[in-house]
Structure 1
Amino acid sequence: MLPFVFAGNASNVTNGNLCMMGTLIPEKVSGKIVLCDRGVNARVQKGAVVKAAGGAGMVLANTAANGEELVADAHLLPATTVGQKSGDLIKSYIFSDPNPTATILFEGTKVGIEPSPVVAAFSSRGPNSITPEILKPDVIAPGVNIIAGWSGSVGPTGLAIDTRRVGFNIISGTSMSCPHVSGLAALLKAAHPEWSPAAIRSALMTTANTACKNGQMIEDIATGKPSTPFDHGSGHVDPVSALNPGLVYDLNISDYLNFLCALNYTASQISSLARSNFTCDSSKKYSVTDLNYPSFAVSFQMGGGTGGTTVVKHTRTLTNVGSAATYKVSLHSQSESFKISVEPDTLTFTELNEKKSYAVTFTAGSMPSNTNSFGRIEWSDGKHIVRSPVAISWT
């Protein structure tokens, strides 16, 4: 066991708890394990600061911003990370014991950790600030503590003082979840060469999971609460189910051009994106809500309805990529603050690539500004479930 000290008690600056460059007093740190708070500077830099001050090891504690998320790093000294709850308990121990001690032990790899998966604290979140009518994110995928190839030109911490060289590293971030999804898209394209990028995205979204194996809603690790479509989008990707989604929401070039028209893009802006001349039809009414997206986001403007009620309509088209079947719709809402209706409520497909359209009506009364509520629309033939999340916002 080694002497254990809180970084805030081994510094003369107000933010000494963060173990930033030049903030630790070597005489109070030398030969000890140091407890540092996460935040502001890089996690691996905190370890470098402790080592430079003569520390023997580091415990990195999460704050409220990161909750119970545990991210592995290739520190320059023996180190471990703990969640906010454990961090608070450790601080209580250090503050109450006149001679606190600690040790860091490697107990091997542990499997079957629950809950899993979870939404990482750093994960990209909604709502969509640019186009609120398009729900973001689309999906979530593995992105925490991923073993990945690493360049030999820098050490595993990326710090200039790190002279170690490795072929692999443990990395976390959306830069890790993105290649997972890219690989899944390649897998689906190999299995279904005729599918468009939109069809592949749809298959990944409508078959994604929103619950853990224990049946509970995927947790937002930053808050410890159940996640919402603004956190997980359509859910956590499921490669096997995505290979056979039953139905897909497809899009072609014209759909995207019409979407740009609905956003009031100029002919010059559209041409720069489409790399072709295209002019929006002034006699045609374009609507963002007509984009054939696999999810729904509805933004109600306060005071915009009649008698306190506002109605928003969306249209969608489903393409059959499976066998002939009849799909029936089921509607789910988180609260009674809004209602969903679908017409028709049954779609029958008799052949491959057959398309059928439906309309969705969202009706909501007045709610306080910045209120959000959620639901989902599911089409099922008894074998497939084609899920679409619904996010309702009052602004």
Structure 2
Amino acid sequence: HGHGTHTASIVAGSPVPASSFFGFANGTASGIAPQARLAIYKACWGPLGSCMEIDIVPAMEKAISDGVDIISISLVSGSAEFYMDPTAIAAFGATEKGVFVSAAAGNTGPSWSTLSNTAPWITTVGASSVDRDFPASVMLGNQNIYRGLSALAYSVGDAKSQGPFPLVYVSTDISSTRCLPNSLDPILVKGKIVVCDLLPGESSAADKGSVVAEAGGAGMIVANGEFYGAEQQQVQHSPDPYNLPAISVSFTAGEKIKIYINSMLDSATATIDIPGLTVLGNLTAAPVLAPIVAAFSSRGANIAYPHILKPDMIAPGVNILAAYAGGLDYSLSSETSMACPHVSGIAALVKAIHPNWSPAAIKSALMTSSYI
């Protein structure tokens, strides 16, 4: 499915110049420790990539027996109690053998006490935003302009602005507001820009774009759910890129756009502007702030053991460009799964310089030298 390929290349991918996601985030892509040796153990199976502890634990035990120095776990555990969590128990065994274990904190923020992998011997990694932006904007018929993001993965020729087109928010039922498969009536959306709500745990923005395109829509505005806070720097990746003009906006902007649509009845219009730029630098102004904790990154406190502070650190986990599978050389992904291998790679570099350091010593060095 590409998840393992993506995370593995973040840890130890070789430097590759001119890497990009359809021209976005263009540059030299490299893993954190490109000279490290990778040992990859498949533990997730089936069409949905289901990860069961009955597979995860043997994979970890095999890694330990093979003599690895670092175990990077971009998976979430299902139990808060250490002694009930097979992954935590296996990680304890790894730590006893001198193996550094890092794991993803989970993607169920910004609610409190949503962490996974909270055992004290595991280095628990949350996700931070990065100073890279893919700016785009949408101008409504009333001349109000809302900034957003777009990694538009299709050729639009020389035309950067798409519109004006009629603008609709189909609220026939909950499925149509989210642009789920078979939910949009072509009569209502053909030739129009469609607003689609994006909530966690459902189809990606790219999948919604396919639904809009199949119904004859001219474009799409992805309104991030309140779950994502004020942020909108997560460009939702999918093996299938957008196939129509699309922009992702914040929850606040999405609500204002819907108010405009309701006020205009059937005469609302919008123009989507996608300059196709990648902007780098210290992003200290809203709506894209960096570095800050990503909205989706799971938070403490540690629900089972609140006296053990977690997560241990954060690392880049938003719009991370790395190798992918399924027909794409590279893709952008946003999860704590992407943050975890950044820390794993740094731990590998420290281990190379200090081969006799314990996992606790490496963890301490990383935590006491990190900064935001």
* More helix per residue: 2
TM-score, normalised to structure 1, is 0.47
- Higher RCO (CA 8 Å, separation ≥ 6 residues): 2
TM-score, normalised to structure 2, is 0.49
